[in-house]
Structure formats: structure tokens, C-alpha cells
């Protein structure tokens, strides 16, 4: 949060401290290419890769890929700003759940 920034959303004010449990953080974001390999290896069909709540969400909504991605003629495409384009393998993956 912030107490000094003049433009901030209401849920970003005031600045406050929070304790969080330990977690792992990688040195770089997960790329679309790495996420495609996760999907090809059964990432959306194997519950061991998901928190229980996340697996419930995958099953409830029939998730098989990130939001706005679809497969056509063996290629992953995404809808971005109203344009359909190939998913770039070297960009960070977007529109995935934090589960």
C-alpha cells in the first residue's frame, strides 16, 4: 500500500505491514513456453500440481489453458487487445490463477 502516492486505489491505502508465510520465488516470471510445456505434460489433468481449491476451480470451470488462449491447427493462440495472435513463448504467462 501507499500513504504518499496521490493516485492509488482505495484498497491500496493506507500503507500497512503484513506478515506472510514463507514462500518460494523464482528469479524470473514463468514464460508462455514453459507454461505450454506444463499444459502438454498434463498440468490441467493432474491434481498434484494444484492446491485443493485450485483443483476444484479447474474442474468446476473446465479450465484447460490460460484465459484468452485457444488452440487452432496445433498452435496456441491468444486474444489480446481484440487481436488473435500466436502465443509468444518468451513472454511471461498472463491470465492464470494464483493457485
Tell whether 15 is covered by a domain: no
- Name the one residue in this structure whose C-alpha cell is 490460460: 66
Q: How many domains does the chain have?
A: 1
Tell me which residue range forms the domain holding 40: 29-86
The low-confidence residues of the chain, meaning pLDDT below 50, are: none
Residue 8 is predicted with a pLDDT of 78
* Sign of the torsion formed by the C-alpha atoms of 12, 14, 18 and 23: positive
Question: What does pTM read for this prediction?
Answer: 0.74
Tell whether 60 is covered by a domain: yes
Tell whether 4 is covered by a domain: no
Tell whether 79 is covered by a domain: yes
Q: What digits encode the pLDDT tens for the residues 52-73?
A: 999 999 999 999 999 999 999 9
Residue 2 is predicted with a pLDDT of 67
Residue 77 is predicted with a pLDDT of 98
With a CB cutoff of 8 Å and minimum separation 6, the contacts of 64 are: 39, 44
Amino acid at each position: 500500500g501507499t500513504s504518499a502516492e496521490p493516485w492509488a486505489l482505495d484498497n491500496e491505502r493506507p500503507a500497512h505491514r503484513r506478515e506472510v508465510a514463507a514462500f518460494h520465488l523464482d528469479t524470473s516470471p514463468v514464460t508462455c513456453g514453459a507454461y505450454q510445456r506444463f499444459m502438454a505434460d498434463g498440468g490441467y489433468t493432474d491434481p498434484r500440481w494444484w492446491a485443493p481449491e485450485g483443483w476444484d476451480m479447474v474442474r468446476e470451470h473446465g479450465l484447460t489453458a490460460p484465459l484468452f488462449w485457444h488452440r487452432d491447427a496445433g498452435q496456441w493462440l491468444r486474444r489480446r487487445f481484440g487481436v488473435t495472435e500466436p502465443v509468444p513463448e518468451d513472454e511471461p504467462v498472463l491470465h492464470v490463477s494464483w493457485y
